[in-house]
Amino acid sequence: MEVFDNIPVSLEPDKVLKFMRVRSNSPQVEGLVQELIEVVRPIAKPKAVYKVSYVDAKDGDTVTIDGIRFTSRVLRINLDHVERVFPYVTTCGTEVEEISVPSDDFMKSFCLDAVKTVVLRSAIAYLSDHLKKYYALGEMSHMNPGSLESWPVSQQRELFSLFGNVEELIGVRLTEGCMMIPMKSVSGIHFPAEVSFESCQLCPREKCFGRKAPYDPELAKKYREEI
């Protein structure tokens, strides 16, 4: 298991505005983003923890990893030909999460949410680059509990159990409903794959702000029918 608690952050206004999909110049939004960056940049400490794990068993809709049983048909299919996986948790960090703005200032809240997301993405990218470099991985995909009906968010408990006390390691804890605090955190399993996979390909929900790939009905049908 390895912990990264000093991940570099590239926090520039252009990057945040691009994530926000600001289509035209907006002095108000640009000013708010710059103001928030000046607050966030000095204290931002995104973090990540991961471990090298091995698939013990695959049976029907379940996969056992390091003795922990996960129930997900899609995960089991994706790991059919995989033996080594990389469970992980990444976060923007408690330092950034504690920054707040007035609840009635909706625009500033929106801008702060975007800045926090860009900080989180720095941790996600750093971890991904590290895994590819140090484990000689080619194509790599991932799955996250709660991103699909096939792998419910309640399985966060099993995923976190692979690490022990995640809150002590990087400051992330689970609520009773299995949501993560800080909210700008992501957990999941990275795995080598011959073909890139995104959970978004199996999700038909329209107008999703965080969509990373278009819905693929034929791929969704394949996963439903595969035994």
Look at residue 227 in the predicted model and tell me its pLDDT: 43
User: Measured between alpha carbons, how far is residue 12 from residues 40, 42, 91, 93 in Å?
Assistant: 11, 13, 19, 18
Query: Secondary structure of the chain in the HEC alphabet?
Result: CEEECCCCCCCCHHHHHHHHCCCCCCHHHHHHHHHHHHHHCCCCCCEEEECCEEEEEEECCEEEECCEEEECHHHHHHCCCCCEEEEEEEECCHHHHCCCCCCCCHHHHHHHHHHHHHHHHHHHHHHHHHHHHHCCCCCEEEECCCCECCECHHHHHHHHHCCCCHHHHHCCEECCCCCEECCCEEEEEEEECCCCCCHHHHCCCCCCCCCCCCCCHHHHHHHHHCC
Rounded to whole angstroms, how far apart are CA atoms 62 and 84? Answer: 16
Look at residue 173 in the predicted model and tell me its pLDDT: 97
Look at residue 128 in the predicted model and tell me its pLDDT: 94
**Which of 8, 176, 182 lies closest to 93, judged by CA?**
182
- Compute CA 211 distance to the chain's CA centroid, rounded to the nearest angstrom: 12
Residues 35-63, mean pLDDT to the nearest whole number: 95
Q: Where are the domains of the chain?
A: 2-225
Look at residue 60 in the predicted model and tell me its pLDDT: 87
- Per-residue pLDDT at 24 exceeds 60: no
Q: What percent of the chain has pLDDT over 90?
A: 63
Look at residue 218 in the predicted model and tell me its pLDDT: 60
Rounded to whole angstroms, how far apart are CA atoms 58 and 164? Answer: 23
Look at residue 137 in the predicted model and tell me its pLDDT: 84
Look at residue 21 in the predicted model and tell me its pLDDT: 80
- Per-residue pLDDT at 47 exceeds 50: yes
Look at residue 196 in the predicted model and tell me its pLDDT: 59
Question: Which of 88-92, 106-110, 207-211 shows the highest mean pLDDT?
Answer: 88-92
pLDDT band for 200, please (50, 70, 90 cuts): low
Rounded to whole angstroms, how far apart are CA atoms 182 and 173? Answer: 8
Whole-model pTM? 0.83
Mean pLDDT over all residues of the chain?
A: 87
Tokens standing for residue 86:
């990389």
Residues 80-101, mean pLDDT to the nearest whole number: 93
Among 70-84, 93-107, 180-194, 207-221, where is mean pLDDT lowest? 207-221
Was domain 2-225 assigned CATH 3.90.580.10? no
- Is residue 29 exposed (0-12), middle (13-18) or buried (19+ Cβ within 10 Å)? buried
Angle, helices 27-40/106-134, rounded to nearest 10 degrees? 60
The separation between the first and the last C-alpha atoms of the chain, rounded to the nearest angstrom, is 33
CA atoms within 13 A on the CB side of 162: 28
